[in-house]
Structure 1
Amino acid sequence: MPEMNRQITLAQRPYGVPKDSDFKLVETDVPEPEAGELLIRNEYMSVDPYMRGRMNDRKSYAPGIEIGAVIVGATVGQVIESNHPGFQSGDTVQASLGWQTHGVTNGDGARKIDSSLAPISTSLGVLGMPGLTAYFGLLDVTNPVAGETVVVSAASGAVGSVVGQIAKINGCRVVGTAGSDEKVRYVLDDLGFDGAFNYKTSIDYEASLSELCPDGIDVYFDNVGGPVTDAVFPLFNLWGRMAVCGQISQYNATEPPVGPRLFWHCITKRLRIQGLLVSDWADQHDQALREMAQWVTSGQIKYREDVVEGIENAPEAFMGLLRGDHIGKRVVKIG
């Protein structure tokens, strides 16, 4: 029988927490590349929190996924047929082909991966979008200075774990929040954070942060929003900076949450708060990846991957990601 293209599509829009019935595994013919295109057999695909927002039918920074369409996402695999002058069969290429075993691209946004540098799966993590988000979000948005205190939420995740390590490279004191004792040990023992606490067992986030940040907070890299972020505001120092990368605590909310109104701290402490998308620095990605690769190969940046086997398990891998049942970067290895 001919090889088929297995795809995970959006069966219906999730209401609140996603469930199995929101996704559908389908089989289609393997697409054929036209002139100027290449066909890739994917080996790994990414699952990321931002995908939850793309499943909604509302205006955002990118179009929502249509019902019946393939779930969006980054992939890496091998070119099996090319009609593109910049790629040839056998090349390992990272592209944005979504949750499917095969995909065609015209090459826009695709990049060749040097498999001798690191495992190709890292092109979806520490040497891919999450790593670049950490790099630009910390260095360009918050401009940390040696000796300052940097707090990172979701510190054991794909982005937060890299943020903390880049801050350490730049001479900062780094404190993280995480959702289990195992994750806290990981950021302290493996990644070299100066302090961390388990927000699921802390009864007072502000007190926990105050104990770990006796000199206040200069930089906050926010991946979660919600009560953890609320607790940071009173502890900001004068001229504090905050990078808003994600709000994962809100992604499954069905009603807008009501919380403290804390923006008066922006006035009294002259805070600077900025959201970010990694695409804002698209023209600088190659340069940043070269520096990131040096840090990875030298051991200055460590990483962990949580690999789920089989494309059919991608929905559960994604739902588990939103529950926080992983450490580091979660990827799906396509069977």
Structure 2
Amino acid sequence: MSGLIALLDDVAGIAKVAASSVDDITSMAAKAGAKAAGAVIDDAAVTPKYVTGFDASRELPIIWKIARGSIFNKIVILLPIALALSAFAPWLISPLLMLGGSYLCFEGAEKVYHAIAPPDDPHDKYEGGKGDPATLEETKVAGAIKTDFILSAEIMTIALNEVTALMADSTLSGGAKFAMEAGVLFVVALAITAVVYGSVALIVKADDVGVAMASRRTGPLAAFGRGLVKFMPVFLKALTIIGTAAMIWVGGNIIVHGLSEMGWHAPYEWIKHQAEGAATALPQLAGLVAWAVTAFFDGVIGLIWGLILIPLSEYILVPLANVTLVPLISGVKSLFGRSAG
């Protein structure tokens, strides 16, 4: 009997440790995921366009296909890469983070630039009714998953950087530390995918819900349905603006911190000084004011850097990629094609 009691006591102890680990993983995942807010909001803002023009019955299946592709991107491809970086090349995390931050600045600045000077032939235009619907759907899904891969890579890199910082003072080592990092990144991957594509599903079906309420009900519900139909376009536009601003802010923040880590402290110190001065002027709202000032100047730097990257990308990086990467990828594909044959 005493042996059974001792065994149960050991099991209870193990359960407490496991529960504590799960709690730590959840807490760290929440903090790491919050740092990726800019990419997450933009992901939610961008995805609804991939179901535009399709029959309403295909909207949720398309979103589910994209969500599955996103989970594959994050867990099967990016999670092992992130863990390998953490284990064997942690020095690469900061440069990759800055590369991702530069991409966020570029994407955000490009959207601002196109809003001011719209392109003559938008490359994203969807022409419904042309071609086989199934083929068009697969093309749209494939394009969405490719876009998601870039944003997912940025999300996972930001999360990995935050996890590394949070675990800097941890007493864990070896396999336990590896398991904790893997658990946190796994939870971040699943949680962000669920939040993004769950939100997208609600957004794209809100119009249908509004129409149904307006046409089948009377009184307050009908009025709410009509209001919902009118509100959704405004909400989508606002979400796009917020997503763009968040991308530029997060990208700028990453660049400023990255430069500081590389030895150029001036931008970070200047912004910190401005934020502290503003917080001192409004002590009742010190925290909020300091954050707002920091975010503003991070965003200004992010926008400037993004605008610099637009011509750099158009006239140097893209042509260079077309000359080097595209033939290389085509050669690899043809090589594998011959091997398969």
Greater share of helix = 2
When the two structures are superposed, what TM-score results if normalisation uses the length of structure 2? 0.24
Higher relative contact order (CA 8 A, sep 6+): 2
When the two structures are superposed, what TM-score results if normalisation uses the length of structure 1? 0.24
Greater share of strand = 1
